[in-house]
Amino acid sequence: MEKIGAVLEKEMLRIEKHQEKQEEKKKREKNLEMVGFSDMSRKGYTLIPNYLLDLKISPTAKLVYTLLLSYCWNKDFCFPGQKEVAEKVGITRARVVRYFKELEEVGLIKTVLTGRANKYILYATVKKYRR
């Protein structure tokens, strides 16, 4: 019985070393290592159009647009309040209004007054690219 235990232990160590070598090989084959990413990705992702990165608008306006995208990516609507946007981005509500106007000027969003709360229409392209 003791022999079987020793053999099993030896085999488990061999398998463990083999797995470690395989992991190292995989890491060397990649030029990007993602550490702890599964924990970070639990809340999902927000895809942003690449052209947004090249637009001549402020970085904070880009962040606000990305946040709006995150609210409505898997829905047909988004309805965050200006206060909530301000808290998430770390700016004042007055600044949110300013960045919404900046986004409207380039045609990325349209604000529709609905009485009690605003409705935001997000466009996937800016005016000059829209058909």
pTM given for the model: 0.64
pLDDT per residue as tens digits for the range 90-118: 999 999 999 999 999 998 888 888 777 77
C-alpha to C-alpha distances, 127 to 80, 104, 105, 107, nearest whole angstrom: 24, 10, 9, 5
- DSSP code, position 91: S
Please, what is the Cα angle at 99 between 97 and 101, to 5 degrees? 70
Q: Looking at residue 58, what is its pLDDT?
A: 96
pLDDT digits (tens, 9 = 90+) for 20-46: 888 777 666 555 555 666 666 666 778
pLDDT of residue 40: 61
Tokens of 66: 């990305």
Residues 53 and 59: their CA atoms lie apart, in Å, by: 9
- For the ranges 8-12, 27-31, 39-43, 56-60, the one whose mean pLDDT is highest: 56-60
Q: Distance of CA 6 to CAs 1, 3, 12, Å?
A: 9, 5, 10
